[in-house]
A and B are shown apart, each in its own frame.
Chain A
Amino acid sequence: MKRHLLSAADLSRDDAELVLATADEMRSLADRPIKKLPALRGRTVVNLFFEDSTRTRISFEAAAKRLSADVINFSAKGSSLSKGESLKDTALTLEAMGADAVVVRHGASGAPHLLAHSGWVRSSVVNAGDGTHEHPTQALLDAFTMWKHLGESKPGGLEGRRIAIVGDVLHSRVARSNALLLRTLGAEVTLVAPPTLLPVGIEGWPVETSYDLDGVLPKADAVMMLRVQRERMHGGFFPTAREYSRRYGLDGKRMAMLQDHTIVMHPGPMVRGMEITADVADSDRSVIVEQVTNGVAVRMAVLYLLLGGSEPAVGGEE
């Protein structure tokens, strides 16, 4: 039985398009006087966050509450890897409380996978970001945003669209999930980064890669800038922040190379002046705020499709 959403690879094309179409319906809720649907009444969704991420947690919380689910926020920051309460004990606690879904954010890659397959919990597990692995709902909301702008909100709407994902691919769970999902949806993905920030073996991914941002921008239909932490500089991944910005930052001059319809995206939080300048982030092309809005609708769609019926309509195999 399909129960979990652990990786963007769990979603078939039909699954992914069902999520997008469902999110489209969910989005219209924002215009109604009562922003609540009864679909998950009596269901319990636990937000289990081992890492701080206020925006992701709030987005899931709003999504679950708008579907009338009961929401329990469980912040276990720092309690696992530091040998406090283990992931296992936390999971057993949640199981005892009768959670129907666990939305888990964890610093260790694979932690949601472990939770889903350990037998510790019977609930659905939704990966809300694990280490440097994946962040499938972020990819879904990014795809949804592109689909609204570039795909006419139709099935197959992203077929052949060219998406550039720029920045710290090596450490980015957003890049991994986006690459997988956008491929599933038929888009052509190009990952742009300095060679030090691309993973070894990326030749095997279903994407193009480039070290040259200026060569990629004129052809892109959407440009997604990834956050680059200044700490990476100390890891020697690039010499200085200034050199990084010069080679891989999106500024007004580079924005002028884009096609008229091309949108600029960022999963947040932005490091303004590093990977993106303020004038680009605040420009008409920027859909960064819309991404946040769409996040709630997409997460509603995911929770509804996983928990709304007797069994989930999308997601990975048990």
Chain B
Amino acid sequence: MTALTLTNVNKSFGQVHVLKDINLEVEDGEFVVFVGPSGCGKSTLLRVIAGLEDVTSGDVHIDGEIVNHTPPSKRGIAMVFQSYALYPHLNVRKNMTLALKQERQSKEIIDQRVAEAARMLNLEEYLGRFPSELSGGQRQRVAIGRAIVRHPKLFLFDEPLSNLDAALRMNTRLEIANLHRQLEATMIYVTHDQSEAMTLADKIVVLRDGRVEQIGSPMELYNNPVNQFVAGFLGSPAMNFLPAGLLSDGDERTLGVRPEDLYLSDSGELSATVRHVEHLGGDTNVIAMINDHQVTARLFGQHAIEAGQDFKLAVSEGKSYYFDKSGERLSA
């Protein structure tokens, strides 16, 4: 069963064409992440799904029904915002129950759902507090709780973690993953952080300039990117791009190599000068220059390498990607 289908969705603001022919299917229970650089239209796409923006053309189906003209509250969705967007004048319990009261649910159902959500998110102690009395992480949990109590067909997350600090972000990421497992709900998640996308998603949708570049599971995209943009966007440190001419004369293509697929070898074909070394303990990232091109090599373990050193790099067998001038992937 498909939870969400987008067919030829276009969105323009005046002259500006923001979303271009988006087609997408999301299965029931899937965790889908929209990822892309800022300004690529991913948040707009989410707002179109939510019904906060109308489509200019194309159809949005939720649970098999066309919802182009259905108001947001009738679409069976719940949304978690980047800025939390809690109602400042209502306490945590009232923040969570407002939507249910609007739907005229019975008091028993409301109480039961709030209790359930509060237990899941460890918010029991805070139900009587106001948003201004909560920390950032707690507010974020309330925002998620407000979505959970509605038992929506579709959860929409708009960069929910970007206002949290790094440690909290890790924890909340785990909580969201757990939640997805517990609720078995369909979730759509927007982020510009590729590591969030890789760790959370069943399916990643990479967007650029309002177009879908590629859709697939995280590993599919990582191992088999269709173009240079997707290859460079996913993975950290990012993929290295070099002119293939460095390896064989006259080759016009662009060579792409992931940092972990570069290794030190005396018989390596690429001679490089070390510019900077990042010792991470478990890994060592070596940033080196090959002629004028900067590359990053990720070496497992600890290595005594210093800036200024010269050495040879080799590419692991079968781990090279080739791209043509326009950035399209070429089969090796």
Q: Do A and B come from one complex?
A: no
| Chain A contacts to B: CB under 8 angstroms | none
